[in-house]
Amino acid sequence: MTQVLIVEDHEENRTLLKMLLEANGYRVTAAGDGVEALAAARRDPPDAIVSDVLMPKMDGFALCRQWMQDARLKAIPFIFYSATYVRPENEQFGLALGAVRYLIKPLEAEVFLRELGAVLQQWAGRAAPGPAAPLDDATSHALHESALARKVEDKIAQLEAANRELVESEARFRSLTEMSSDLYWESDAEHRLTQRTSAGRKSSTASVFARTAQIGERRWDIAYLSPDAAGWAAHRAVLDAHQPFCEFEFSRLGADGTEKFISINGDPVFDTSGAFTGYRGVGIDITKRRRAEQALRESEERLRAMFDGALDGILVADVETHKFLTGNPEICRMLGCRLDELARMGIPEIHRKQDLPRAMEQFERLVRGEIQLAADIPIMRKDGSVFYADIKAARIRLGGQDAMLGIFRDVSERKQAERALVDSEQRFRSLVEQSLVGIYVSDGERIVYTNPRAEEILGYEPGELAGASLTALIADEDQPAVEREIRSLLTGEVPIARLEIRARRKDGSEVTIGAQGLRARVDNRPAIVGVLQDISEKKRAEEQIQRYVAQLENAFMSTVRVVTTLGELRDPYTAGHQRRVAEIALAIGAEFGFDARRQEGLRVAGYLHDIGKLSIPSEILSKPGKLSPIEFQMVQGHAQASYDVLKEVEFPWPVAEVALQHHERMDGSGYPQGLKGEAILIESRIMAVANVIDAMCSHRPYRAGLGIDAVLSEIERGRGSLYDAEVADACLRLFRERRYQAPA
């Protein structure tokens, strides 16, 4: 196997170059400077050497000169690979010292490999040129000093360019601040206001207050409406601890006499010696948002009144655990229990043992959307007695949980009426004439009989409906469905038919009714006997509840996107990172076999996994150079910070745990907990791979993106050690076989 010696003082560059070469079949040794490289080469001569120029102890030029003076090493091809010495004069000097190539960083991976391969092929084919004539000491020293002088000139030019970039970065930062906030503020070490400026053309948020803090004052010195004294004390404790804070909200009396709200964020400021000098931050007028929240609460209260006042029982159950989440007073009355008792119950507790299998089968069919109504379900009360219910259900999201909302209608009386109809028409008539629900008999085309309640629902006088055509009583759009159900019922394909249809009243208006029928014999002829109810109000209540649930779901996802956007605004180099990681994780999850619900959990976790970076100073996030150990430790802390923010939110997925574990590795080499193997959530293992793919594909200020082939080679290399083997296989299959393209 061909051996290549890498000489590079920058650890990350050295590691990436080593990974690239090993992924392409080379054996690699590495050194951090020229002294270390000479020692390594003399112990184990390589087939080629790739060296940086700018290094401590002994730079690349000095290394090349000594290399060419060593009888064993000078026949080994020497390749320069530099990002700092890039002038033509530097290349000429390097070649004059005896190097065979002078490459400028960064090169695309395939270009670099092609250059290295050409050199090795030339040497292997015995077509290598003879060693260059060595430079004398005086010439070498002169050229070396010239290169150093040029480097100083280039460094000065780079510093000037960096200064211009800093000015531009400051302008971009100011623009981002102005777009994401209403004001900018600063305070001193005693928390006295030293500066407050409005963002761009926006009027000062503070101007909405009748009286606001002035320069030299502390914000809690001014009369406030909220928070209370304890809330201010907690805020001051954070300030005295010199900790960053987010979304601290307070309110004061506005200039118009109404309560006005503002939310501020702040970061502590330290001088070069590490001494605390004050705070700086931004503020947003959130009065409109708070008022919208109040309106939403009032809307929720109205919906709660409808929920509690419904004449049917309403019950909400968790789809996964089958535990009850909430219910209305009517369902408690039906079950003979209190609301607090209901919260400790689930589906198994309201069914007899012999009825439970059918009840669970019907529940699962409702969850899958195969049916909308489960009919004639035996329900057990707290005292052990049983009643029968028709259950109309819809899938909803409640409190971040996937749930089913069921509307229970006690049909015990109807069940008794159906049994009575089988025995005797006389008993049937005596029962149905007094029924609170509409009852009818039809031959499939015309009405044979209706009870008073059915006539009342349809707006007819007693006896007027006898002989009426079913077609005349049903809205045009619903007639095909009714005809299908009648046909299926009369042919025996189904034992009972149930429909929600729009019926025409005598006065031409329409009413929504719930109708059901079963096949029977009346006067020794086939017939349909059934019941109908006016469900117009119930339908409107259901639609209102569904709209409310949809609003809550949209608000949740909008909040996730807003939080993600706020995090990315502070880090321009990783803008879009969380979104791309979410999309990649979603694709891997789908390939891995996750269902739609778990895929949605991956999307949310991807959007939020780096939210903890809000706690890291923006100057560290956007730093173009190598991070110091302390800075790198602060960046590593974002996983724990993300978890601390997200753990208080009741997600239906392990979003907080994924954020905490997305830098863990299967062999325990990750952070922050050093977890191994199965101790890491499968969602976290997927997120780890997605995070690595986007990080390596994306350009950084200190390197170009590595390209998808190199990234997949890294995933393949770490399969089973760094990354879960099955997740890695799903990822490789997704990109190589499914031709999946990483999001831009």
pLDDT tens per residue across span 309-333:
888 999 999 999 999 998 999 999 9
Is 90 exceeded by the pLDDT of residue 673?
Answer: yes
Using CA atoms, how far apart are residues 442 and 486, in angstroms rounded to an integer?
A: 10
Token pair, residue 714, equals 């890294």
Model confidence at 265: pLDDT above 80: yes
pLDDT at 558: 53
Is the predicted pLDDT of residue 168 greater than 70, yes or no?
A: no
SS3 labels along 122-175: HHHCCCCCCCCCCCCHHHHHHHHHHHHHHHHHHHHHHHHHHHHHHHHHHHHHHH
Across the range 645-673, mean pLDDT stands at 92
| pLDDT beyond 50 at 581 | yes
In the chain, the domains with their CATH numbers are 3-156 (3.40.50.2300), 181-285 (3.30.450.20), 293-381 (3.30.450.20), 414-534 (3.30.450.20), 570-736 (1.10.3210.10)
Q: Has residue 351 got a pLDDT over 90?
A: yes
Q: How far is Cα 713 from Cα 591, in angstroms, rounded to an integer? A: 19
Per-residue pLDDT tens for 280-303?
Answer: 998 888 888 888 888 888 887 887
What mean pLDDT comes out for the span 321-347?
A: 92
* Best mean pLDDT range from 395-409, 571-585, 693-707: 395-409
In sequence order, the 6+-apart residues with CB closer than 8 A to the CB of 141 are: none
Q: Is the pLDDT reported for residue 438 higher than 80?
A: yes
Q: What is the pLDDT of residue 127?
A: 56
* pLDDT the model gives residue 303: 74
Using a cut of 0.85, tell me whether the model's pTM lies above it.
Answer: no
pLDDT band, very low/low/confident/very high, at 555 (cuts 50, 70, 90): very low
Least reliable range by pLDDT among 543-547, 558-562, 668-672: 558-562
Q: How confident is the model at residue 152 (pLDDT cuts 50, 70, 90)?
A: low
Report the SS3 class of residue 575. Answer: coil
Contact 638, 629 (CB under 8 A): no
Q: What is the average pLDDT score of the chain?
A: 84
- According to DSSP H, which parts of 394-504 are helical? 412-423, 425-432, 452-458, 470-473, 479-490
Q: For 66-70, 93-97, 304-308, 407-411, which range has the lowest pLDDT when averaged over its residues?
A: 304-308
Least confident segment among 224-228, 550-554, 727-731? 550-554
- The pLDDT value given to residue 494: 86
CB atoms < 10 A from the CB of 678, how many?
Answer: 10
Give CA–CA dist 570/246, Å, rounded: 13
- Asked whether the predicted pLDDT for residue 567 surpasses 60, the reply is no
Euclidean distance between CA atoms 34 and 55, whole angstroms: 8
- CA-to-CA distance for 391 and 349, rounded, in angstroms? 17
**pLDDT given for residue 426 in this prediction:** 63
pLDDT for position 297: 84
pLDDT of residue 578: 84
Residue 700 DSSP code: B
Confidence of residue 559 (pLDDT cuts 50, 70, 90): low
Contact residues for 588 (Cβ-Cβ < 8 A; gap 6+): 686, 689, 690, 727, 730, 731, 734
Q: Range with the lowest mean pLDDT among 148-152, 161-165, 269-273?
A: 148-152
Model confidence at 353, in pLDDT bands (50, 70, 90)? Answer: very high
Q: Over range 380-402, report the average pLDDT.
A: 90
Mean pLDDT, to the nearest integer, of 175-187?
Answer: 69
* Phi, psi torsion values for 519, nearest 5 degrees: -75, 135
How much of the chain exceeds pLDDT 70, in percent? 84
Task: Report the range of poorest mean pLDDT among 451-460, 548-557, 575-584.
Answer: 548-557
**pLDDT tens string 59-108:** 989 999 999 999 889 989 999 999 888 888 889 988 988 899 999 988 89
Given this model, what pLDDT does residue 590 score? Answer: 93
Q: So what's the pLDDT on residue 150?
A: 63
pLDDT level of residue 30 (50, 70, 90 thresholds): very high
Band (pLDDT 50/70/90 cuts) for residue 500 is: confident
